[in-house]
A and B are shown apart, each in its own frame.
Chain A
Amino acid sequence: MVDMNINILIVDDYKTMLRIIRGLLSQIGFSNIDEAANGAEAIVKLKEKNYNLIISDWNMEPMTGLELLQNVRTDEKTKTIPFIMVTAESKTENVIAAKQAGVNNYIVKPFNAETLKTKLASVLGAF
């Protein structure tokens, strides 16, 4: 069973999307949720605290979600943290690139609560 007290980091440059994901995670039962507005901010938070899951947008500047993923996968401290990409980027080459970079699952915007829950379960285990 999933530990609902895990630390989750959500990364997106749109405040509303951070609110949406936080709201959905809260409804599922997670409460330890931190936010970062971009990849660089996420990296700082990852250095300061141990996270058990990262949920990130792709299309951000100056560091994209893909670059954040690549960074996370090359750092000894963070390389095994499950990483879910939540993005409007839906072309085949995007998914391939993310998979090759080590993403654990991929959600395309717009998404619903059921999709998020399913992908979380695939990465963290059954609820």
Chain B
Amino acid sequence: MAKNWTEILSIKLKKLQDNNSGSINQSEVNKLTKEFLTTVDYYVSAKQRNVIFNQVDTISQQIAGLKKDISVMGNNILQENFIPEIATELHSVIAQTEKSVIGILDISDEIRKISAKASPPKLKEELLSHSTKILELCNFQDLTGQIIQRIIKRLTIIESTVNNIATELGPHYKLSSRLTPDSLLNGPQKEEDRPSQDDIDNLFADLPEPKS
């Protein structure tokens, strides 16, 4: 019997999310995936199971990619324990932007103090206006922090579901935990791994000219 499995799983996941106000209930995710796989077992052939696994494996690779991207901002070394690590890395992003914004707000306070002693009045007014603008522009950190919190909740649910599906499909189905290595698009590197401009210049100078 032909069924749209993606649609069925999407509806069940959304219901789970809605019922839990965005928070994950691990036992409910386990129950959902067991039920889903029981249904899959009943209806699909081994060939179709392979197709399902390949799709799930693609999602798993994307999650690995996300973790790699996020780890650039984080201070933690990536572990194989997926669910807590994504949340940890994203919380680290929030913490780092918070630290920067607090530094900026300290400077805004200093400008305000200087404006109190400044003369003539026009300069005083200008300094105060700049200090106010800095405060207004720092609104972003709160908004991005809230967006990241929502992403953490969604990713946690997706990741848990993917891992459970792979487990239920059987021991001979193993998810990829790494990206395929042939991509040149790696995004920003961690600060400690990032080469300096001098390093790049030196490397560039050492490379042979391309053959014409």
Contact = CB atoms under 8 A, between A and B. Distances in A.
Interface string B81-119: 000000000000000001001100100110010000000
A110 B102 contact: no
Contact of B143 (A15, A23, A24, A109): A109
Contacts of A12: 142
Contacts of B109: 23
A3 to B, nearest CB: 22
A112 interface: yes
B142 A113 contact: no
B141 A23 contact: no
Contacts of A88: 142-143, 146
How many chain B residues sit at the interface, stated as a range, is 20 to 34
A109 B105 contact: no
A20 B138 contact: yes
Interface residues of A, number: 18
B65 interface: no
B51 interface: no
A16 B105 contact: yes
Nearest to A59: B146
Interface string A1-36: 000000000001011110110011011000000000
A111 interface: yes
